[in-house]
Structure 1
Amino acid sequence: MKRNNRAKWARMSLLFTLILALITVPYQKADANTINVDASAAIMINGDTGQILYEDNIDEQLAIASMTKMMTEYLLFEAIEEGQVSWDDTVQIEDHLYPLSHQGGLSNVMLRSDYDYTVKDLYESMAIYSANASTMALASHIAGSESAFVQQMNEKAGELGLDHYDFVNSSGLPNSSLDGHHPDGTPADAETTMSARSVAELAFHLLNDYPEVLETASIPFAEFQAGPDETVNMPNWNQMLPGMSHEYEGADGLKTGTTDAAGNSFTGTALRDGTRLITVVMNAGDPQIRTERFDETAKLFDYGFDQFEDITVVEEGQEPEDNTFTVSGGKETEVSVVTSENLNVSTQKNANQDYTLEVVLDEELLNENGELVAPISEGERIGTLKVNFDDPTEYIQGTQLSGVALVATEDIEEAGWFTMSMRGIGSFFSSMWTSLTDTVSGWFN
């Protein structure tokens, strides 16, 4: 009950809307009626804010093929960041991966049992050439087995706020292609599936948490040292990169995927004039023509870059209209706040949309009376300044970037017993005086 009261106070007293003269902003999310994208599902988001700019059938769970490797990349970067593995580690290659790496019908670099490969070697072959055996070797190196790694993949998807996903292996291959060596606990005929929305969310987190992934994903061509006297050519499957057949200005990633079930799919990203777009097309175009996924992606990029622009709604250091909030138990009874960074939104160039700004205090920082509680440190986040369109815009789950953090402008130390006692005495006499004046006034009414 106490938490319900606190939430009620927060909603009634603090989740107020700051009407800042109803500024006119252009925005209109596109859908399948706006542009014709030939794909079973497609989505485009702003790569910095997570704002959805285009959507078509984005919640149906479909096979994603090698786009699965984006989660493997995420967990690899996380393991390196946490010191669990390093780029220079020598990776033990399990026996069944040697023949798998020589299967011509699968994307692979040929691995040899008489040669050592590092994490960096195998990562580059995964990120550039979508090498499947390399991916599986990395998964086992990180988690001890691919089965344990698949469990980590699904757990991380939950942590990132994804809604529609089922990871069954680290590579995105159908389990039926693994000659009985599919991860324990997964069906022999299963294939990893996700919704377009969840794929876009995964790409968003990968690019924002580990932007260095683009340093490798953007390489059009590389060579893999398969042995002391053997190299393997690795042209990037992403044909939108510079110098490739479907080169697109600003394209620098991210991951293709192709199986019979997934068709020709692609998660693309491009950066122009400071704006990054992320797109996903699933089972795009003619199944017999792999490059049509890049044609469909180009339609999305063209629409995004031509029709939208990023504008700054609120600048860093800006004070909201009512910028002071009550603090309980502090030497000071109020704290002022400012925005921690610019608040940007993607806006359509030729449509008008009104919006208001709303202050939302972090509920876990409030007491039962809806007040902030001391101590508070300068720069500490205490809430969010959100932008609300009259025609609501939509953001992908887990980003919460429809607003910008509000931070305290000063330290508020916890008050000592003497200060609190004197404050209580003052409050007591103030209430007595109010009661007395109300009584006297009543005599003359």
Structure 2
Amino acid sequence: MQRQFFLLLLVIIPGLLLVAEDLEIHSRSAILLDASTGTVLFEKNADEPIPPASLTKLVTMHIAFQDIAMGKVHLDDIVPIPRAAWAINQSWGSSLMFLGPGQRVTLRELLLGLAVCSGNDAAVAIALYLAPSIEVFAERMNQEVQRLGLTHTHFVEPSGISEHNVTTARDFAAFCRFYIAEHPDAITNFHAVREFAYPKAENVPETYRDNPRTIVQSNRNTLLDTLEGVDGLKTGYIIESGYNIALTAKRGDTRFLAVLLGGPGRSSLQGGQIRAEDGTKLLEWAFANYKTLHLSPIPLPQPRIWKGTLNKTNLHIADAVIDRNTNMLSFTTSIHRGIKLNQNIEIFEPVVAPIQVGTIIGRLIISDNEGTLQQFPLTVDETIPKGNLIKRMIDALILCFIAFFKNIGLT
């Protein structure tokens, strides 16, 4: 079920997608979508393979949150810091939270070190806490993205420093949408945190507690403070990728998600500015033109089944995004539409057995005063075989009478 969720995740609705030429985006690859519905609103070279750089850390965090949810580890666990995770042992150019020998650090602090500081040392420490080696942890990352149907994504390590990690904007947007839905508290508790101070007195050996040399680092996502509604997710950069960002913002009931890969820049200052400009342009355009509507679907009828072993069956709304907690149906529409919504059900009668599970026999039509906004197929949720000969003959006779009376205008 979860794999199917991802394969159907990013949908393009005719009339909603803006062609790439209409927005000047400097990044080599980009995609913009409604985070609630998966509707793609803009894309540019969205299937080009590019190293994700530190966006990789979102997958590392996801694996950690999985283990926390299963009770294997806990946020307040004291995590050993192996030599491989010391800051001084990270690759040149690494972002760091400055882990070192003798320190005491919790898993929560390491996750903040990933989300805020983008620490490669934190990524290594988490990976080696959850797996016996970097290679084993990377294999778990790959198994997870494969399970989610992300066929163009592959990892060799958990920090993003390697150019051999690879993804596409489309794949990674799908992952981010899943990540936000699966770990909603991560936005507030980690990705929207503005700064992180480490090491503090409680983190260092007793002899250094009078002067722990605390370093305060600001979140690498500068749009947290400059663009309304932004609360995540992650920036990234290596030479081989350019400037990357997975960006999300929520205003009212609408959340948009953008992934930009391969941004240009001759310096970190210039690259960061161009990346921020691209992200701002996409999100502001999205909020100016689109919104997410949420509504409770009307009760579905049980249509009459003819010539089958059953007389009635239950219906299922297919291709729809329905919140499993609230039972609210969500879809994307123009900012100017959907002031007053109407729902109608159309059944393609007569419904005659045999019918396979998933067969479309009707549609749910959502409209406003300007016309149809969205249509969702209605499918049967069980296979219904043909009935016995007597049942088929009786139903055939009834259908003939119904057709006759329709023809003479009596029904």
Aligned twin of 1:397: none
Residue in structure 1 matched with residue 230 of structure 2 by the alignment: 251
Q: Structure 1 counterpart of 2:311, which letter?
A: T
Measure, in 2, the Cα distance between the counterparts of 1:255 and 1:35.
23
Aligned counterpart for 1:47 among listed residues 27, 31, 35: 35
Measured after TM superposition, the shift of residue 110 of structure 1 is: 1.7
* Partner residue, 2:195: 221
Q: 1:196 aligns with which of 169, 175, 186?
A: 169
Deviation at residue 296 of structure 1 after TM alignment: 0.7
2:222 is aligned to 239
In structure 1, what is the Cα distance between the partners aligned to 2:61 and 2:24? 31
Query: 1:18 corresponds to which residue?
Result: none
Instruction: Give the equivalent residue in structure 2 for 1:334.
Output: 312
The answer to whether residue 180 in structure 2 is matched with residue 207 in structure 1 is yes
Deviations 1:388-432 (A, max 9, x none): 9xxxxxxxxxxxx99699898xxx9xxxxxxxxxx9696499599
Quick one: higher RCO (CA 8 Å, sep 6+), 1 or 2?
A: 1
Distance (whole Å) between structure 2 residues aligned to residue 144 and residue 205 of structure 1: 27
Does residue 70 of the first structure (1) align with residue 49 of the second (2)? no
C-alpha deviation, 1:33, in angstroms = 1.2
**Corresponding residue number in structure 2 for 1:345:** 331
Contact between 1:327 and 1:335, CA under 8 Å: does it hold in 2?
no
1:155-200 C-alpha deviation (Å, 9 max, x unpaired): 11111111311211100002xxxxxxxxxxxxxxx53111111111
| SS at 1:223 equivalent | strand
The residue identity in structure 1 corresponding to 2:192 is: S
Displaced runs of 4 or more, over 3 A:
99-105, 325-330, 336-343, 348-351, 356-360, 382-388, 401-408, 423-434
> Which position in structure 1 is the counterpart of 2:16?
28
Give the letter aligned to residue 227 of structure 1. V
Match of 2:286 in 1: 304
Give, in whole Å, the separation in 1 of the partners of 2:132 and 2:233. Answer: 27
- Counterpart for residue 274 of structure 2: 292
| 2:354 counterpart letter in structure 1 | N
Task: State the alpha-carbon separation in 2 of the partners of residues 358 and 154 from structure 1.
Answer: 43
Q: Which residue of 2 aligns with 1:177?
A: none
Alignment deviations for residues 23-55 of structure 1 (CA, whole Å, 9 cap, x no partner): xx9942012111111110011010111110100
Query: Cα–Cα, structure 1 residues 45 and 112, in superposed 2: closer, same or farther, change >3 Å?
Result: same
Classify 1:210/1:328 alpha carbon distance in 2 versus 1 (closer, same or farther; 3 Å).
Answer: farther
In 1, Cα distance between equivalents of 2:35 and 2:347 = 24
In 1, the alpha carbon distance for the partners of 2:55 and 2:221 equals 12
Q: CA deviation at 1:115?
A: 2.1
CA distance in 2, matches of 1:155, 1:402: 35
Conservation of the 8 A alpha-carbon contact between 2:51 and 2:241: yes
Residue 318 of structure 1, aligned match among 289, 298, 301:
298
Quote the offset at 1:60 in angstroms.
0.7
TM superposition shift of 1:117: 1.5
Counterpart amino acid of 2:282?
Answer: L
Q: Which amino acid aligns with 1:370?
A: I
State the TM-score, normalized to the length of structure 1: 0.68
Whole-Å separation in 1 of the counterparts to 2:90 and 2:313: 65
1:222-273 CA-to-partner distances (Å, cap 9, x unmatched) read 212342532221210000113xxxx100000000001111111111000012
Cα displacement (A) at 1:104: 7.3
Partner of 2:102: 114
Largest Rg, 1 or 2: 1
Taking the TM superposition and a 5 Å limit, the aligned residue runs for 1:142-161 are 142-161=130-149
Instruction: State the aligned residue count.
Output: 345
1:81 maps to which residue? Answer: 69
Q: Does structure 1 residue 166 correspond to structure 2 residue 146?
A: no
**TM-score w.r.t. length of structure 2:** 0.73
- Aligned residue type for 1:297: G
Are the aligned partners of 1:279 and 1:297 in contact in 2 as well (CA < 8 Å)? yes
Alpha-carbon contact 2:97-2:113 (below 8 Å) kept: yes
Cα shift readout 1:82-109 (whole Å, capped 9, x = no counterpart) = 1222112222222222254677732112
CA offsets 1:257-308 (integer angstroms, 9 cap, x no match): 0111111111100001211010111122424212220111000011100011
C-alpha contact 1:263 1:282 (8 A) present in aligned 2: yes
Q: CA separation in 1, counterparts of 2:231 and 2:166?
A: 25
Please list every run of 5 or more consecutive structure 2 residues that lacks an aligned counterpart in the other structure: 1-12, 338-343, 367-373, 399-411
Corresponding residue SS for 1:62: coil
CA distance in 1: counterparts of 2:233 and 2:36, whole angstroms: 15
CA contact (8 A) 1:42 1:55 kept: yes
Contact 2:87 2:96 in 1 (8 A): no
Relative to 1, partners in 2 of residues 1:136 and 1:30: Cα closer, same or farther, differing over 3 Å? same
Gaps of 5+ in 1: 1-24, 175-189, 361-367, 374-381, 389-400, 413-422, 435-445
Q: Contact (CA 8 Å) 2:36, 2:330: kept in 1 or not?
A: no
Which residue in 2 is equivalent to 1:271? 250
CA–CA distance in structure 2, aligned partners of residues 112 and 338 of structure 1: 55
* SS of aligned partner of 1:295: helix
The DSSP-based 3-state class of the residue aligned with 2:22 is coil
- Shift of the 208–94 alpha-carbon distance from structure 1 to 2, 3 Å rule, reads same
Contact 1:63 / 1:193 at 8 angstroms: preserved in 2? Answer: yes
Q: Greater shift after overlay, 267-276 or 341-350?
A: 341-350
* Equivalent residue letter for 1:255: K
SS at match of 2:42: strand
Once superposed, what is the RMSD of the aligned Cα atoms?
3.9
**Residues 64, 282 of structure 1: 8 Å contact kept:** yes
| Percent identity between the two aligned chains | 24
